[in-house]
Amino acid sequence: MNRNDLNLWRTSDLAMSKPAARTLDRRTLLKAGGALGLTGLALAAIPGGRNFASAHSNHQDASASPVPGPQADGTNLWKVQVGNMDMENKLDLQGFFPGEITINAGDQIWFAEGMPGFHSVYFGYGAEPPALIVPDPEQASPEAGAPPQMVLNPEVAFPGPNMIVDGTNVVNTGVDILWDPTVPTIVTFSTPGTYEYLCVPHQSVMRATVIVQEAGAELPMDQAGYDALAQEQMAALVEEGLAETAEYAEATAEEQADGTTLWTAAAGAGEGQARVMQFLPNSLEIKVGDSVKWVNYSTGEPHTVTFVGEGATPPEDILPAAFADGSPKFAINPMTLFPQGGDTFDGTGYLNSGYFGLPGTPNEFTATFTGPGEYIFYCILHGDAEGGGMAATLTVVE
């Protein structure tokens, strides 16, 4: 990856480790699918973090367990599920379910998490959404050739001031995992029209539509119908993901001129809304001197290939701090963002591909293995060095 190529931060599906206003341990958050390998980081770790989250939460007041259906004022409350994860098959379903819903002016939609995940709901009326990752605005310009410090864009992470879709004012719910799960994300639709929306972190595939009719118009489907449709759509994506998993289940081998073997394996798969959060195969045996090329077959979904050998410590991917005004700042660790350790591994030190598979970056990473051993490798964004989440084993024999 070119350290100075920042174009990818505008258009990618980059998902960051989730800073959380609620306390969630790393293992729990690893189950969030499209969520990254999380640090258990909380806004409470930053002075004033919880107060900031509370003061800036613009979710509308509602009960902790909304009941979709007709309301006392004659409107309807609808439910749309935001993402889901098939844990057994390690499939992240990056969609809104159902993908299209028809409601009436004055109605509301409860955007409910399928699982804790790094998702947002953004109505921009065709305008390009803000970048998810931006250079730290408070950092002085880096020296020539040095990369800027990148941070999670507060404009994306935290809710905007408006939660009414009217065709004019942008609605951004912020990243849900930052907020108290007892506060539902509810958006009001005041004006008839057709409104497309997206999840900023997963915008290349995670898009949907709300059709708003005139108040009092006949509705084509009730909530039970939409719930059934949502289940059908998710089941279809699981089947799609299983097919992708089967396609890349085995590594391929190519003999090199020097007698060694180049192995090709998958670091994630799935071009659509079904994202395979696995290294395929999950276990591979090679010989000393062989190389492995990991290809990201899931366009727009970033992954890393990371080995933490003897003498090295797994780095944290998010470095918590605060902006000058006291609001939370979440910086990406350059040790995880960019390639480290070259392209050989002998069982010692730290080898990291950096984020790859995004616009402006390669979609593959190749390393040669010069020392025998059994090594766990993982994706910093979706797994951990102990083998949790998106992790696999490479055995190197003499």
Q: What is the CATH number of the domain that holds 23?
A: 2.60.40.420
Domain boundary among 223, 242, 261: 242
Average pLDDT of the chain, as a whole number: 85
**Is 117 inside any structural domain?**
yes
The whole-model pTM stands at: 0.85
Going by C-alpha positions, the residue among 266, 259, 270, 255 that lies closest to residue 293 is 266
DSSP β-bridge partners for residue 285: 395
How large a percentage of the chain has pLDDT more than 70?
82
Q: Does residue 80 share a domain with residue 224?
A: yes
Kindly tell me if the per-residue pLDDT of 362 is higher than 50.
yes
Average pLDDT of the residues in 228-247:
98
Q: Does residue 226 share a domain with residue 335?
A: no
> The domain containing residue 113 runs over which residues?
8-242
Q: Does residue 360 share a domain with residue 284?
A: yes
Q: Does residue 254 share a domain with residue 237?
A: no
Report the domain count for the chain.
Answer: 2
Domain boundary among 218, 242, 266: 242
**Is 302 inside any structural domain?**
yes
Residue 62's pLDDT is 47
**Is 2 inside any structural domain?**
no
Q: Find the farthest-apart pair of alpha carbons in the chain and give their distance in angstroms, rounded.
A: 77
Kindly tell me if the per-residue pLDDT of 337 is higher than 50.
yes
Residue 330's pLDDT is 85
**Which secondary-structure segment (H or E) carries 307?**
strand 306-308
Kindly tell me if the per-residue pLDDT of 200 is higher than 70.
yes
Average pLDDT of the residues in 267-289:
97
Lowest pLDDT segment from 178-182, 345-349, 352-356: 178-182
For 309, residues 6+ apart whose C-beta sits below 8 A from its C-beta are 345, 346, 347, 348, 349, 350, 351, 375
**Is 1 inside any structural domain?**
no
Q: Does residue 309 share a domain with residue 238?
A: no
Kindly tell me if the per-residue pLDDT of 14 is higher than 60.
no
Q: Does residue 325 share a domain with residue 356?
A: yes
Tokens of 314: 């797994």
Q: pLDDT, tens digit, for every residue of 301-326?
A: 999 999 999 999 999 998 888 999 99
Tokens of 322: 């605060």
How large a percentage of the chain has pLDDT more than 90?
70
Kindly tell me if the per-residue pLDDT of 7 is higher than 60.
no
Going by C-alpha positions, the residue among 4, 52, 17 that lies closest to residue 319 is 17
Q: Does residue 342 share a domain with residue 281?
A: yes
d(CA 266, CA 245) in angstroms, rounded, equals 10
Could you tell me the pLDDT band of residue 33, with boundaries at 50, 70 and 90? very low
